[in-house]
Amino acid sequence: MLGNLPDYPWDAMAPFAQRAAQHPGGLVDLSIGSPVDPTPDVVRRALAEATDAHAYPTTVGTPRLREAIVEWFARRRGVAGLRVENVLPTIGSKEFVAWAPHMLGLGGDDVVVHPRAAYPTYAVGAAIAGVAALAEDDPQAWPAETRIVWVNSPGNPDGRVLTVEQLAQRVARARELGAVLISDECYAELGWDAPWDTQPIPSILDPRVTGGDLSNILCAYSLSKQSNLAGYRAAFVAGDPALIDQLLVIRKHAGMMVPAPVQAAVAVALGDDAHVAAQKERYRRRRAALIPALVAAGFTIDGSEAGLYLWLTEGRDAWDSISRLADRGILGGPGHFYGDHFRQHIRLSLTAPDERIDAAVARLTH
The neighbour count for residue 199, using CB atoms within 10 Å, is 11
Q: Residue 305: what residue type?
A: E
Question: Mean pLDDT in the chain?
Answer: 95
Q: Could you tell me which residues are beta bridge partners of residue 239?
A: 218
Indicate whether 298 pLDDT > 90: yes
Integer Cα distance of 49 and 265 in angstroms: 9
Cis omega (within 30 of 0) for bond into 157? yes
pLDDT in tens, 326-349: 999 999 999 999 988 999 999 999
The neighbour count for residue 17, using CB atoms within 10 Å, is 14
- Domain architecture of the chain: domains with CATH: 2-38+275-365 (3.90.1150.10), 41-271 (3.40.640.10)
Q: Could you tell me which residues are beta bridge partners of residue 234?
A: 91
Q: Taking a C-beta distance cutoff of 8 angstroms, is the pair 347, 332 a contact? A: yes
Please report the beta strands in 103-224, taking only residues with DSSP state E, as ranges in sequence order: 111-114, 132-135, 146-152, 180-184, 217-222
Q: Taking a C-beta distance cutoff of 8 angstroms, is the pair 112, 100 a contact? A: no
Integer Cα distance of 227 and 276 in angstroms: 6
SS3 235: strand
CA-nearest of 223, 200, 277 to 92 is 223
pLDDT in tens, 64-113: 999 999 999 999 999 999 999 999 999 999 999 999 999 999 999 999 99
pLDDT band for 1, please (50, 70, 90 cuts).
very low
pLDDT in tens, 143-178: 999 999 999 999 999 999 999 999 999 999 999 999
pLDDT in tens, 272-287: 999 999 999 999 999 9
pTM over 0.85: yes
Q: Taking a C-beta distance cutoff of 8 angstroms, is the pair 24, 6 a contact? A: no
CA-nearest of 122, 101, 161 to 339 is 122
Indicate whether 9 pLDDT > 90: no
Angle between the N-to-C axes of helices 274-296 and 354-365, in degrees from 0 to 180, rounded to the nearest 10? 10
* Helices within the chain (DSSP H only): 14-21, 41-49, 63-76, 94-103, 121-129, 164-177, 207-210, 241-254, 260-270, 274-296, 318-327, 354-365
SS3 326: helix
Integer Cα distance of 8 and 180 in angstroms: 27
